[in-house]
Chains A and B, each alone.
Chain A
Amino acid sequence: MKKYAYMALIGVLCLAFSQFLIYDYAPTERTMGYAQKIFYYHLPLAWWCFVSFFISFVSAILYLFKKNMCYDRLSAVSAEIGFLLATLTLVTGSIWGRQSWGVWWTWDPRLTTTLVLWFIYAAYLVVRTMAMPNEKRAAVSAVITIIGFLDVPLVFFSARLWRSIHPAVFASKGGGLEAEMVHTVIFCVLTFAFIYIPLLAFRLKQVQQLQSMETLRTRMLYEEN
Protein backbone atom coordinates (compact mmCIF):
# COMPACT_ATOMS: atom_id res chain seq x y z
CA MET A 1 0.00 0.00 0.00
CA LYS A 2 3.02 2.25 0.48
CA LYS A 3 3.57 2.63 -3.25
CA TYR A 4 -0.04 3.78 -3.66
CA ALA A 5 0.47 6.39 -0.94
CA TYR A 6 3.47 7.75 -2.88
CA MET A 7 1.38 7.66 -6.05
CA ALA A 8 -1.31 9.72 -4.34
CA LEU A 9 1.32 12.22 -3.25
CA ILE A 10 2.62 12.50 -6.82
CA GLY A 11 -0.99 12.92 -7.93
CA VAL A 12 -1.52 15.85 -5.59
CA LEU A 13 1.69 17.52 -6.78
CA CYS A 14 0.72 16.97 -10.41
CA LEU A 15 -2.69 18.44 -9.63
CA ALA A 16 -1.05 21.57 -8.29
CA PHE A 17 1.16 21.83 -11.39
CA SER A 18 -1.85 21.24 -13.65
CA GLN A 19 -3.39 24.45 -12.27
CA PHE A 20 -0.46 26.36 -13.72
CA LEU A 21 -0.83 24.57 -17.06
CA ILE A 22 -4.58 25.16 -17.25
CA TYR A 23 -4.66 28.82 -16.22
CA ASP A 24 -1.29 30.08 -17.43
CA TYR A 25 0.25 27.80 -20.05
CA ALA A 26 -2.81 26.82 -22.12
CA PRO A 27 -4.21 29.67 -24.20
CA THR A 28 -7.81 30.82 -23.73
CA GLU A 29 -10.07 29.50 -26.46
CA ARG A 30 -11.36 32.17 -28.83
CA THR A 31 -15.10 31.40 -29.00
CA MET A 32 -15.85 29.77 -25.63
CA GLY A 33 -13.46 31.81 -23.49
CA TYR A 34 -12.65 30.73 -19.94
CA ALA A 35 -15.49 28.21 -19.81
CA GLN A 36 -13.51 26.01 -22.22
CA LYS A 37 -11.04 25.31 -19.39
CA ILE A 38 -13.64 22.99 -17.83
CA PHE A 39 -12.57 20.64 -20.63
CA TYR A 40 -9.19 20.02 -18.95
CA TYR A 41 -10.92 18.17 -16.11
CA HIS A 42 -14.02 17.03 -17.99
CA LEU A 43 -12.03 14.93 -20.48
CA PRO A 44 -9.82 13.11 -17.90
CA LEU A 45 -12.93 12.38 -15.80
CA ALA A 46 -14.71 10.90 -18.85
CA TRP A 47 -11.62 8.98 -19.90
CA TRP A 48 -11.03 7.39 -16.50
CA CYS A 49 -14.74 6.69 -16.15
CA PHE A 50 -14.65 4.54 -19.28
CA VAL A 51 -11.38 2.90 -18.21
CA SER A 52 -13.00 2.08 -14.87
CA PHE A 53 -16.03 0.49 -16.52
CA PHE A 54 -13.73 -1.44 -18.83
CA ILE A 55 -11.80 -2.82 -15.84
CA SER A 56 -15.13 -3.74 -14.26
CA PHE A 57 -16.21 -5.50 -17.47
CA VAL A 58 -13.01 -7.54 -17.78
CA SER A 59 -13.06 -8.50 -14.07
CA ALA A 60 -16.71 -9.58 -14.41
CA ILE A 61 -15.83 -11.92 -17.28
CA LEU A 62 -12.86 -13.29 -15.31
CA TYR A 63 -15.12 -13.87 -12.30
CA LEU A 64 -17.72 -15.80 -14.29
CA PHE A 65 -15.10 -18.16 -15.67
CA LYS A 66 -12.71 -18.48 -12.72
CA LYS A 67 -15.16 -18.01 -9.80
CA ASN A 68 -12.49 -16.16 -7.80
CA MET A 69 -14.01 -13.56 -5.47
CA CYS A 70 -11.08 -11.17 -5.92
CA TYR A 71 -12.32 -10.48 -9.47
CA ASP A 72 -15.77 -9.73 -8.10
CA ARG A 73 -14.27 -7.28 -5.62
CA LEU A 74 -12.26 -5.55 -8.35
CA SER A 75 -15.34 -5.36 -10.57
CA ALA A 76 -17.44 -3.83 -7.79
CA VAL A 77 -14.82 -1.29 -6.75
CA SER A 78 -14.12 -0.19 -10.35
CA ALA A 79 -17.84 0.21 -10.97
CA GLU A 80 -18.18 2.31 -7.80
CA ILE A 81 -15.38 4.67 -8.77
CA GLY A 82 -16.54 4.68 -12.39
CA PHE A 83 -19.98 5.74 -11.18
CA LEU A 84 -18.46 8.65 -9.25
CA LEU A 85 -16.44 9.72 -12.30
CA ALA A 86 -19.49 9.40 -14.58
CA THR A 87 -21.47 11.65 -12.20
CA LEU A 88 -18.72 14.25 -12.27
CA THR A 89 -18.43 13.98 -16.07
CA LEU A 90 -22.15 14.62 -16.46
CA VAL A 91 -22.17 17.53 -14.02
CA THR A 92 -19.16 19.26 -15.60
CA GLY A 93 -20.49 18.50 -19.10
CA SER A 94 -23.85 20.07 -18.21
CA ILE A 95 -22.25 23.19 -16.74
CA TRP A 96 -20.06 23.58 -19.82
CA GLY A 97 -23.03 22.97 -22.11
CA ARG A 98 -25.12 25.55 -20.28
CA GLN A 99 -22.38 28.13 -20.67
CA SER A 100 -21.49 27.34 -24.27
CA TRP A 101 -24.82 26.36 -25.79
CA GLY A 102 -27.36 27.82 -23.38
CA VAL A 103 -28.86 24.39 -22.53
CA TRP A 104 -28.18 22.09 -19.59
CA TRP A 105 -28.66 18.97 -21.70
CA THR A 106 -28.37 17.97 -25.33
CA TRP A 107 -28.53 14.66 -27.19
CA ASP A 108 -24.80 14.67 -27.75
CA PRO A 109 -23.76 11.03 -28.38
CA ARG A 110 -20.97 11.13 -25.79
CA LEU A 111 -23.11 12.73 -23.07
CA THR A 112 -25.96 10.33 -23.84
CA THR A 113 -23.65 7.32 -23.65
CA THR A 114 -22.28 8.53 -20.31
CA LEU A 115 -25.80 9.05 -18.94
CA VAL A 116 -26.97 5.57 -19.99
CA LEU A 117 -23.82 4.07 -18.44
CA TRP A 118 -24.54 6.09 -15.29
CA PHE A 119 -28.03 4.56 -15.07
CA ILE A 120 -26.75 1.04 -15.70
CA TYR A 121 -24.09 1.31 -12.99
CA ALA A 122 -26.52 2.96 -10.58
CA ALA A 123 -28.71 -0.14 -10.98
CA TYR A 124 -25.59 -2.26 -10.51
CA LEU A 125 -24.79 -0.53 -7.22
CA VAL A 126 -28.40 -1.06 -6.06
CA VAL A 127 -28.12 -4.79 -6.83
CA ARG A 128 -24.87 -4.95 -4.82
CA THR A 129 -26.74 -3.76 -1.72
CA MET A 130 -29.48 -6.40 -2.04
CA ALA A 131 -29.61 -9.27 0.41
CA MET A 132 -28.51 -12.45 -1.38
CA PRO A 133 -25.71 -15.02 -1.07
CA ASN A 134 -22.26 -13.64 -2.03
CA GLU A 135 -21.78 -15.95 -5.00
CA LYS A 136 -25.21 -15.17 -6.43
CA ARG A 137 -24.64 -11.44 -5.96
CA ALA A 138 -21.29 -11.76 -7.72
CA ALA A 139 -22.83 -13.67 -10.66
CA VAL A 140 -25.76 -11.25 -11.01
CA SER A 141 -23.46 -8.21 -10.80
CA ALA A 142 -21.10 -9.71 -13.36
CA VAL A 143 -23.93 -10.28 -15.84
CA ILE A 144 -25.21 -6.71 -15.42
CA THR A 145 -21.70 -5.30 -15.94
CA ILE A 146 -21.11 -7.38 -19.06
CA ILE A 147 -24.38 -6.55 -20.79
CA GLY A 148 -24.14 -2.91 -19.68
CA PHE A 149 -20.70 -2.55 -21.22
CA LEU A 150 -21.71 -4.37 -24.41
CA ASP A 151 -24.55 -1.87 -24.77
CA VAL A 152 -22.19 1.13 -24.90
CA PRO A 153 -21.33 1.13 -28.64
CA LEU A 154 -25.00 0.67 -29.53
CA VAL A 155 -26.01 3.62 -27.36
CA PHE A 156 -23.32 5.78 -28.98
CA PHE A 157 -24.34 4.92 -32.54
CA SER A 158 -28.05 5.24 -31.85
CA ALA A 159 -27.60 8.65 -30.21
CA ARG A 160 -25.47 9.80 -33.15
CA LEU A 161 -28.06 8.58 -35.66
CA TRP A 162 -30.85 10.22 -33.60
CA ARG A 163 -29.01 13.52 -33.59
CA SER A 164 -28.57 13.38 -37.35
CA ILE A 165 -32.35 13.61 -37.81
CA HIS A 166 -32.46 16.65 -35.51
CA PRO A 167 -29.80 18.82 -37.13
CA ALA A 168 -26.92 19.65 -34.83
CA VAL A 169 -27.24 23.22 -33.61
CA PHE A 170 -24.16 22.89 -31.51
CA ALA A 171 -20.62 22.68 -32.77
CA SER A 172 -18.62 19.64 -31.86
CA LYS A 173 -16.49 20.11 -28.75
CA GLY A 174 -13.34 18.44 -29.86
CA GLY A 175 -12.09 20.14 -32.99
CA GLY A 176 -8.89 22.14 -33.48
CA LEU A 177 -6.88 22.09 -30.29
CA GLU A 178 -3.65 24.04 -30.15
CA ALA A 179 -0.42 22.31 -29.10
CA GLU A 180 -0.37 23.82 -25.58
CA MET A 181 -3.95 22.68 -25.05
CA VAL A 182 -3.04 19.14 -26.12
CA HIS A 183 -0.06 19.07 -23.71
CA THR A 184 -2.26 20.33 -20.88
CA VAL A 185 -5.00 17.79 -21.48
CA ILE A 186 -2.54 14.89 -21.69
CA PHE A 187 -0.92 16.03 -18.43
CA CYS A 188 -4.35 16.24 -16.76
CA VAL A 189 -5.23 12.71 -17.92
CA LEU A 190 -1.95 11.43 -16.41
CA THR A 191 -2.61 13.42 -13.20
CA PHE A 192 -5.95 11.70 -12.81
CA ALA A 193 -4.19 8.35 -13.24
CA PHE A 194 -2.22 9.16 -10.07
CA ILE A 195 -5.49 9.92 -8.28
CA TYR A 196 -7.57 7.07 -9.72
CA ILE A 197 -5.13 4.21 -9.09
CA PRO A 198 -4.55 4.90 -5.37
CA LEU A 199 -8.31 5.38 -4.83
CA LEU A 200 -8.98 2.03 -6.51
CA ALA A 201 -6.23 0.28 -4.56
CA PHE A 202 -7.35 1.70 -1.23
CA ARG A 203 -11.01 0.87 -1.73
CA LEU A 204 -10.12 -2.63 -2.97
CA LYS A 205 -8.03 -3.24 0.16
CA GLN A 206 -10.89 -1.99 2.31
CA VAL A 207 -13.44 -4.31 0.66
CA GLN A 208 -11.03 -7.24 0.94
CA GLN A 209 -10.52 -6.58 4.66
CA LEU A 210 -14.27 -6.30 5.18
CA GLN A 211 -14.84 -9.68 3.54
CA SER A 212 -12.03 -11.26 5.56
CA MET A 213 -13.63 -9.90 8.71
CA GLU A 214 -17.01 -11.34 7.75
CA THR A 215 -15.40 -14.73 7.17
CA LEU A 216 -13.67 -14.51 10.54
CA ARG A 217 -16.89 -13.52 12.29
CA THR A 218 -18.80 -16.41 10.67
CA ARG A 219 -16.07 -18.83 11.70
CA MET A 220 -16.16 -17.54 15.29
CA LEU A 221 -19.94 -17.88 15.45
CA TYR A 222 -19.69 -21.41 14.07
CA GLU A 223 -17.03 -22.39 16.60
CA GLU A 224 -19.08 -20.88 19.39
CA ASN A 225 -21.97 -23.14 18.48
Chain B
Amino acid sequence: MNAIQALTYANIAIWLGIGAYCFFLAKKQSEMDRRLNSLILQSKTENDA
Protein backbone atom coordinates (compact mmCIF):
# COMPACT_ATOMS: atom_id res chain seq x y z
CA MET B 1 0.00 0.00 0.00
CA ASN B 2 1.64 3.27 -1.03
CA ALA B 3 1.00 6.72 0.42
CA ILE B 4 -1.62 7.76 -2.14
CA GLN B 5 -3.50 4.48 -1.65
CA ALA B 6 -3.45 4.94 2.14
CA LEU B 7 -4.82 8.48 1.77
CA THR B 8 -7.54 7.24 -0.60
CA TYR B 9 -8.60 4.38 1.71
CA ALA B 10 -8.72 6.73 4.70
CA ASN B 11 -10.95 9.17 2.79
CA ILE B 12 -13.17 6.32 1.59
CA ALA B 13 -13.51 5.08 5.19
CA ILE B 14 -14.49 8.52 6.50
CA TRP B 15 -17.15 9.16 3.84
CA LEU B 16 -18.49 5.61 4.06
CA GLY B 17 -18.81 6.03 7.83
CA ILE B 18 -20.57 9.39 7.66
CA GLY B 19 -22.70 8.16 4.75
CA ALA B 20 -23.72 5.06 6.71
CA TYR B 21 -24.79 7.23 9.65
CA CYS B 22 -26.83 9.50 7.34
CA PHE B 23 -28.47 6.37 5.90
CA PHE B 24 -29.26 5.23 9.47
CA LEU B 25 -30.84 8.64 10.21
CA ALA B 26 -32.92 8.49 7.03
CA LYS B 27 -34.11 4.97 7.89
CA LYS B 28 -35.14 6.06 11.40
CA GLN B 29 -36.99 9.04 9.95
CA SER B 30 -38.97 6.89 7.50
CA GLU B 31 -39.83 4.44 10.33
CA MET B 32 -41.07 7.35 12.38
CA ASP B 33 -43.16 8.66 9.46
CA ARG B 34 -44.72 5.23 9.08
CA ARG B 35 -45.62 5.04 12.77
CA LEU B 36 -47.00 8.58 12.73
CA ASN B 37 -49.23 7.69 9.76
CA SER B 38 -50.53 4.61 11.55
CA LEU B 39 -51.24 6.73 14.66
CA ILE B 40 -53.13 9.28 12.55
CA LEU B 41 -55.11 6.46 10.93
CA GLN B 42 -55.87 4.94 14.31
CA SER B 43 -57.11 8.22 15.76
CA LYS B 44 -59.29 8.82 12.64
CA THR B 45 -60.86 5.37 13.08
CA GLU B 46 -61.60 6.13 16.73
CA ASN B 47 -63.14 9.50 15.89
CA ASP B 48 -65.34 7.91 13.24
CA ALA B 49 -66.44 5.27 15.74
Establish whether A and B are touching in the complex (CB under 8 Å). Answer: yes
Q: Which of A62-97 contact B (CB under 8 A)?
A: 81, 84, 87-88, 91-92, 95-96
A173 at the interface (CB under 8 A from B): no
In the complex where A92-B13, A213-B32, A216-B39 touch, is A98 in contact with B6 (Cβ < 8 A)? yes
Are B11 and A41 interface neighbours, CB within 8 A? yes
Chain A, interface size: which category? 20 to 34
Are B32 and A209 interface neighbours, CB within 8 A? yes
Main secondary structure, interface of B, reads helix
Are A84 and B21 interface neighbours, CB within 8 A? yes
Specify the chain B residue showing the minimal Cβ separation from A32. B3
With A87-B17, A95-B9 given, name 19 new contacts (CB 8 A).
Answer: A32-B3, A34-B6, A34-B7, A38-B10, A41-B11, A84-B17, A84-B21, A88-B17, A91-B13, A99-B6, A195-B18, A202-B25, A203-B25, A206-B32, A209-B32, A210-B28, A213-B36, A220-B39, A220-B46
List residues of chain B with CB under 8 Å of any chain A CB: 1, 3-4, 6-7, 9-11, 13-14, 17-18, 21, 25, 28-29, 32, 35-36, 39, 42-43, 46
